[in-house]
Amino acid sequence: MTIIKATCPVCGDVQLSRDQVRLVLHPVRDRSFYSFTCNLCEDEVRKPAGPEVVRLLRMGGVVPESADFPAEAAEEHHGPVLTRDDLLDFVTWLNSATAIAAAAGAGLHRRLEEEDDSVRQQP
């Protein structure tokens, strides 16, 4: 049986079996991590897993999991960070856009009813 040595921030070095270690691989390399529950204090410990850690854990028999997340989360974003004012401006715009959409929808509903009435009246 393979023994994996890890470090708990409270208890120090601990020995784990491969089944006690969880390895999660993320497409963005610096977001991969491994975690375990310390045998001594029972704290959940989570640490980053760089390429070398991933290689060692896999050699030790730890089966990696793939991180499940939407593709948009991996997108790189450029430009200025949104501010609170930007958010408030968006909320104000969204409130007016909702009112406009409701008014437009009411007009569309009225036109569809008129078309339906004209079709019924044709001989």
Token digits for 37? 């529950």
pLDDT in tens, 7-28: 999 999 999 999 999 999 988 7
Q: What is the pLDDT of residues 81-93, one digit of tens each?
A: 889 999 999 888 8
Question: What's the domain count of the chain?
Answer: 2
In a domain, 74, yes or no: no
**Claim to verify: residue 49 and residue 9 sit in the same structural domain:** yes
List beta partners, residue 47.
34
**Are residues 65 and 86 located together in one domain of the fold?**
no
User: Exposed, middle or buried: residue 22 (CB in 10 Å: 0-12, 13-18, 19+)?
Assistant: middle
- Does the global pTM surpass 0.75? no
Please indicate, yes or no, whether residues 64 and 87 belong to a single structural domain of this protein.
no
Do 23 and 46 have their domain in common?
yes
- Could you identify the residue written with the tokens 């991590």? 33
Q: Which domain holds residue 115?
A: 81-123
For the chain, what percentages of helix, strand and coil (3-state, to nearest 5) are there? Answer: 45, 25, 30
